[in-house]
Amino acid sequence: MEQISSKFSQPSRQSRVAIAIILIKFIRFTIRTFWPIALSIFIGRKSGSSFQDIIGYVALGLAAFNLIGSVLTYFRFYFHIEDGAFVIDKGVLKRSKTNIPFERIQTINLQQNIVHQIFGVVSLEIDTAGAKKSEMTIDALKKEDAEALRQYILEEKDQLSEVAVTPDSTEQAVQESFEEDVILKLDIGDLIKIGVSQNHLRSMAILFAFVFSTLNEVTDSVSDMVEEQLSGYQEAILSNGWVVFAGSVVIVGIISFIYSLVNTVLKNYDLKLTTRKGGLRVIRGLLNKEEISINKSKVQNISWSDNPLRRAFKMYTIQIEQASSAQADQLKSKIKIPGSYMQQVKQILEIVFPKEFIAEGEKHKVSILLKYRIFVFSGVLPALVATSVAFYHLRNNGLWFLVWIPIIWLTTSLYYKKRSFELNDEMLTNNRGTFGNYHEIFQLYKVQAVSIKQSWYQRRKNLASVVFHTAAGSLRIPFIPLQQAEELENFVLYKVETDRRKWM
C-alpha cells in the first residue's frame, strides 16, 4: 500500500487512452445534438436553400471549438493523494481543485466500455453521500492501478473509522473487508430467461417513440418522396388495411422481443453479485462493463418483484436504492439485479438489514374503498363515456366497450388483494401488484419525513394516505383509517428521533 501511496502522491495525468475516450464522448454528444441539423442541411441542399449552409457552418464552428476544448481537457487534468484525501485539479480557462477526505467517500465504481476493454483501462467514479452525480470521475486509468487505488482508499477509510483498535485487529478487519463471497452469478441460460420475461410493451413504446421522433424531423420534401414511392400501392394498402395493421404489429412485436433479449444480454452479461464487509458489489456488462459498489449503510430500501412470465421461472428482479439527491445518476442511486431467486433475495436482505427483523411483521390491509374508487374512475366512467360515443357512430357495435368494466373489476380485485403493509419495530414492508408481485422494505430510522395527506373524499370517509420520505425517494400507503395513519406517523417519528445509529 505504501507503493500505491507514493505512486499517486505526485500529480498524475490519466492514461493517454483518455484522449480517445474524451473524443468519443464529444462525437456522441455532437451526433445526439446536431443530427436533426445535419438532416435539415441534407434536405435543404436538395431544395437549394442558402440558409441551411449558414446553419451548417455555425454547427461546424461550434463542433471544432468543442473538439479543441475536449483535447485540452486531458492535458489540464491532474489527480493525486494528499493528507488522507483524494484531490483533482482540472480546468482549461477556469481552474478548479476538488479535495475529498477518504472518510467522506461512500463508494468507488469502475466502468469499462468497449474502448476501455480494448486498451485495458477503466473509468473510475468516486461518490459521496447526497452528490447529484459522481463527485470525481477519471476517464481512463490502467485497470490494475484503478483497482489498487480503490483498495488503498477503502483500506485507509476503514482504518480511519476504527476507534481504539490494536494493529492486529485493524489488519484483520481490513483483510476481511476485501474477502468476497459470490451470492449470484448469471449464465447465458439465466439471461435468456430474463430476456424472454422482460416487459416487451416497454420496448415497443421505445421503438415507436424513436420512429415518431425521427419522422417529426422529416420535412415535407421527404414526405412527398415517400408518398411518390408508395402511390402505386395506395389502393392495395387501403383495401387490406387490417391485414397491414396486424402484420405491422407482429413485426414490431418480434423486433421488440429481439431488442429486449439483446439488450438484456449486453447489459447483464456475466453478472456477478458479491458480498464484502460493508456492502455488496455488482459486476456486469459486455460492451459496457460496469462495477458498482453498494454501501449497505447508504441503502434506503430494497424491493423485489416478478411478473407472470418471470414467476414461471421462479425469478425476481431486485432493486437496491441508495441515498441520493433527486437528480442523482441512476447508476449510483438505483441498482437493478434481474434473475435472482428467492434464496438470493433473502441473502441480500440479511446482509443489508438486521436478520432478526426480516421476518414478516403484523400485516395491515388498506380500505376496500380504494378498490371501489379505482373501479369507478378507471373502469365504469371511461367505459360509459366510450360506449356512449361509440354507440352514436357504431350503434350496437359500440356496446363492446362495456367489456372494459369486468376487465377492470378483475384487475382491481387482484390489486386490492395484494395491497397491504407489514410493520415491526425495525422495518416496514409495502406490498402491491396486479398480475405480478411487488414488495419493498426499508428501515424506520432512515426515514427523513412523514406526511399525512387527505383528499376531499378521504376526509368524508375519515381516511388518509401516509407518505414516507427517504433519501432515495418516497413510499406511499394509501387509504387507511385516519387514526391508524396518525399512530403510524407518531410511531415512525419516535423511532427516528430515538435511534442513535448513523447511516450517512
Contacts (Cβ under 8 Å, ≥6 apart) of 225: none
Amino acid 332: pLDDT: 60
Q: Which three cell numbers stand for residue 291?
A: 462495477
Give the range among 186-190, 370-374, 461-465 with minimum mean pLDDT.
186-190
CA distance from start to end of the chain: 27
Asked whether residue 328 carries a pLDDT value surpassing 60, the answer given is no
Query: Is residue 44 pLDDT above 70, yes or no?
Result: no
**pLDDT score of 369:** 96
User: Which residue, among 331, 336, 317, 333, has the nearest Cα to 111 in the 3D structure?
Assistant: 331
Measured distance CA(431)–CA(305) in Å, rounded: 10
pLDDT, position 181: 87
E strands, 133-245, in order: 136-142, 181-185
Pick the range with the lowest mean pLDDT from 33-47, 100-114, 285-299, 326-340: 33-47
Q: For the segment 126-144, what is each residue's pLDDT rounded down to a tens digit?
A: 887 655 555 678 889 988 8
3-class DSSP state of 78? strand
Neighbouring-strand partners of residue 319:
303, 336
Confidence category of residue 179, pLDDT binned at 50, 70, 90: low
- The answer to whether the CB of 366 falls within 8 A of the CB of 420 is yes
Query: 125-129, 160-164, 219-223, 339-343 — which is least confidently predicted?
Result: 219-223
Q: Is 392 helix (H, G, I), strand (E, B) or coil?
A: helix
Length of the chain: 504
Hey, which bits of 297-347 come out as E strands?
299-306, 316-322, 334-340
Q: Which tops the pLDDT comparison, 210 or 111? A: 111
The grid coordinates of residue 438 equal 411487488
C-alpha–C-alpha distance, residues 122 and 156, integer Å: 22
Which residue bears the cell 406490498?
431
pLDDT at position 488, please? 95
Instruction: Pick the closest to residue 184 from 315, 355, 308, 322 (CA basis).
Output: 315
Does position 108 have pLDDT exceeding 50, yes or no?
yes
Residue 248 pLDDT > 90, yes or no?
A: no
From residue 176, alpha-carbon distances to 81, 107, 344 in Å are: 24, 17, 21
Average pLDDT taken over every residue of the chain: 81
Say how far apart CA 322 and CA 122 lie, in whole Å: 23
pLDDT at residue 113 greater than cutoff 50:
yes
Q: Would you give the DSSP letter of residue 401?
A: G
Task: Output phi, psi for 92, to 5 deg.
Answer: -100, -70
218 pLDDT higher than 50 = no
Residue 305 has pLDDT above 90, yes or no: yes
Query: pLDDT band at residue 447, thresholds of 50, 70 and 90?
Result: very high
pLDDT of residue 50: 59
Least confident interval from 76-85, 308-317, 325-334, 381-390: 325-334
The pLDDT value recorded for residue 157 is: 79
What is the rounded average pLDDT of the residues 6-35?
A: 78
Q: What is the pLDDT of residue 329?
A: 53
Indicate the burial class of 331 (C-beta count within 10 angstroms; 0-12, 13-18, 19 or more). middle
Q: DSSP label at 120?
A: T
More confident residue, 453 or 221: 453
